[in-house]
Amino acid sequence: MNNVTRSTRRRPAALAVAFMAATLGLPVMAQDKVLNIYSARHYPTDESLYGDFTKATGIRINRVDSDDAGIVARLKAEGAASPADVILLVDAARLWRAESDGLFQPIQSRLLEESIPANLRATAAGGGVTWVGLSTRARIVVYDKSKFQRSDLDSYEKLADPKFKGQLCIRSGSHPYNLSLFGAMTEHLGADATEAWLKGLVANMARAPKGGDTDQIKGVASGECGVAVTNTYYLARMMRSSNAADRAATERLGIVFPNQSTWGTHVNVAGGAVARYARHHESAVKFLEYLASPAAQNHFANGNNEWPVAKGVTLDNPALKAMTGGSFKSELIPISAVGKNQVRVQQMLDRVGFK
């Protein structure tokens, strides 16, 4: 091969290397006043939360937003080379799984232990907190007021009642919100009864599961279905929408927090932890403490329609208040139980044909 060819071959390679060096040389690990976050929170309103932290502490935040499963897989592959300091996930079962996969490290923080209730955080065997819940959403039932009564639907079990045949709208069973609810049901009812219950849900469906929770709410509002299961987060957002049609739609709905007279309404937890190989340990703890502070908790409640979890933070959200009339009884079961049931629940869903 002659010289001309060689030099032309080398040129693009050299250019590519130079380009890569320019775009890739991210000084992610070098700086001190920096915090690297992997977040499964997908709420545009959170932006101000991060901004306020940087303003208060001078710590710059680098962030990757992805989904829970993606973050967990990524952390596993990165191993000890992972640049992540803080992990934020929006599903309790995933928090549990990441913890049992050893992706978190226990931290010492009196502030977190004092402000977050014990059932919403995990404690390491050797002491210290492995992860903390930061906000919750309840999984509730909405129904068409012109067709049904509140007493028809005051428990999750009643959703399988044959009188709702052709009435139920619910999103895919494999979505984390439903997997979590069904995992909790398995804990309360046992596996056989839960599978029979799921079979009842499938028999009652108005249509095959599709879309998100908002679609299920709109399904009831438009008369496509009589009953739907939804997360409070989406319902509250519709109630507070500046779109008059959305607000009007929610007025047709009856809202029930199921199982108030038994074990309480199922809540799902969004939370955070310090990554096992975090390099900015101190900043990471500071950030979690910040998220448990009244200011951040208020942001979750008012800005993002979630329930705050820190003790002493009062709820200041008109939609959430209107739904519950103040407060409600939430289910108290160990999150690990819900997490452990996930695979089993999916296999039940596959057996009963719950898409």
Partner 1 sequence: MPLRQIPLLLIALIIALPILAVVASWFGWSPEASATLASMAHTVLPEYAWTSVLLCVPVALGVISMGSVSALLVTAFDFPGRRWLEWALLLPMAMPAYVVAYAYTDFLQFSGPLQTSLRDAFGWRGALWPDVRSVWGAALVLSVCLYPYVYLLTRAALVDRAPRLMEAARLLGASLPRRIVRVSLPLARPAIAAGTLLALMETLADVGVTGYFGVQTFATGVYKAWLVLDDHVAAAQLASCLLAVVIPVLLLEHAAQSRLRFATRRSAASVADSQPLRVSGVRGWLAFGLCGMPLLLGFVLPLALLANALFQARADIALVWPRFGAWVLNSLQLGGITAVLVVALALPLAAALRGRPPWLTTQAVRLTGLGYAVPGVVIVVGLLLPVGAIQQRWPGAGAGYWLTATVLGVVWAYVVRFTAVALQTLQSGYTRIPAQLDESARLLGVTGLNLVRRVHAPLLSRSILVALLLVFVDVMKELPATLMLRPFNMDTLAVMAYQLARDERLGEAAVPSLALVVVGLIPVLLLARTLRRG
CB closer to partner 1, 20 vs 332: 20
Q: Are 313 and 297 in contact (CB under 8 A)?
A: yes
Binding site for partner 1 (CB under 8 A): 1, 5, 8-9, 12, 16, 19-20, 23-24, 26, 28-29, 36, 42-45, 47, 62-67, 69-70, 73-74, 76-83, 97, 172, 174, 179, 207-215, 218-219, 221-224, 234, 241-243, 342-343, 346-347, 350-351, 355
Q: Which residue's CB is nearer to partner 1, number 115 or number 268?
A: 268
Closest CB to partner 1 among 193 and 343? Answer: 343
User: What is the C-alpha separation between 340 and 97, in angstroms, rounded?
Assistant: 8
Q: How far is the CB of 22 from partner 1 (least distance, A)?
A: 11
Q: What angle do CA 247, 248, 252 make, to 5 degrees?
A: 115
**Residue number, 40 or 132, with CB nearest to partner 1:** 40
Q: Which amino acid would we find at residue 17? A: V
Token pair, residue 201, equals 């849900």
Measured distance CA(239)–CA(321) in Å, rounded: 11
CB closer to partner 1, 264 vs 272 = 272
One-character DSSP codes across 25-66: ---TTT-SSEEEEEE----GGGHHHHHHHHHHH--EEEEEE-
Q: How near is the Cβ of 329 to partner 1 at its closest, in Å?
A: 27
Q: Which residue, 19 or 321, has its beta carbon nearer to partner 1? A: 19
How many Cα neighbours within 13 Å face the side chain of 32?
1
Least distance in angstroms from the C-beta of 183 to partner 1? 11
Beta carbon of residue 77, minimum distance to partner 1 (angstroms, whole number) = 4
The nearest distance, CB 274 to partner 1, in angstroms, is 17
Specify whether the CB–CB gap between 195 and 151 falls below 8 A: no
Task: State the minimum distance, in angstroms, from the CB of residue 155 to partner 1.
Answer: 26
Give the end-to-end CA distance of the chain in Å, rounded to a whole number. 60
